[in-house]
Amino acid sequence: MAYKGRLPTDNHNVSHQQPAKELLLLGSALMLATVLIYLLLGLLIDRVVSSLDPELEYKWFGHFATAPNQPGAQQQALQQLTNQLQQCSTMTYPVQLHFVEQNISNASVLPGGIMLVYQGLLKQVNSENALSFVLAHELAHLEHRDHLRGLGRSLVLASLVYGVTGSSNASQWFMPATELGLAQHSQQRELAADAKALMILHCHYGHTGGAEDFFKAMQQQSSSALPDWFDSHPALSKRLAQLALLQQQQGYPVKDATPLPDMLQP
């Protein structure tokens, strides 16, 4: 029989399914599984952090940063103020304050009771009470172990994203989703720290005057009109509203604030 060439009528080597459907199906299943694992691990971290002895934490992390041999006058004054405020909190281990000469209006805490206070912060506070509120807020973070929670959650998230996508760069693509997850948790912790800071302020000074000064100063500077869903911190207006509400509910008196000591004048 002679050969006669002809083309096949059908192509059985390719599937005729919609690729977009496959992406949606696989993507949403994966997303759901990741969110579930993240939530579960987040709860686990909360449990572990709550049961981690503060003394142990201090032992592990407390010596990561060593204080300068000759602390400056500002550092000493801030450390003294922090120590006084600490008496109003339930923190059991010493807080090591580091004064960072950078023009950033912020303060933060690290595991092991290390508190960083940036020089720029002093320009934003107009009284000792306003400064104390920021320090008390950081103390509250240490007391609530928020630094460990945040660290733990970020680690879980980074490893999840890496595990799922196989790329450490991929976390950038999913940044909005991951930040949303972290942000909602973080905003709650910030509000809780604000409430505790107000309590410490009331305990130390007998009134809560000047508590809102720092937020007000920041509010004048920031012009961000974006919604705060992705921010690690709640909107300043929300924080100010909470302070006012707490002052009213708890009956905290508001009196004139103490001026900043000369040493801490910017």
Partner 1 sequence: MIAFLGFITLLLLGFFVGRYLESRHFSSIRQREAELVVLPNTSSRYQLIPMQQIERSELVTGSVVISIDYFKRIVAGLRSLIGGPVQSYETLLDRARREAILRMKESCPGACQIINVRVETSSIYNAAGNGIGSVELLAYGTAIYGQVQATNGL
What does the binding site for partner 1 look like in residue numbers (CB under 8 A)? 2-3, 5-7, 11, 13-15, 17, 19-20, 22-23, 26-27, 30, 164-167, 172-176, 230
Asked whether 121 and 106 are in contact (CB, 8 A), the reply is: yes
Shortest gap between Cβ of 7 and partner 1 (angstroms)? 6
Smallest separation, CB 39 to partner 1 (Å): 20
Place of tokens 């609530």: 144
Coil, helix or strand for 101?
A: coil
What does residue 101 show for φ and ψ, rounded to 5 degrees? -85, 75
CA distance 42 to 156: 8
Which residue, 126 or 165, has its beta carbon nearer to partner 1? 165
- Using the minimum distance from each CB to partner 1, give the nearer residue, 30 or 155: 30
Nearer to partner 1, 20 or 225 (CB): 20
Residue 186 beta carbon to partner 1: minimum distance, rounded to whole angstroms: 17
The residues facing 99 across adjacent strands are 117
Short-list 72, 214, 232, 245, CA closest to 129: 214
Q: Which is nearer to partner 1, 31 or 241 (CB)?
A: 31
Work out how close the CB of 8 gets to partner 1 at its nearest, in angstroms, rounded to a whole number.
10
Residue 10's identity, in one-letter code, is: D
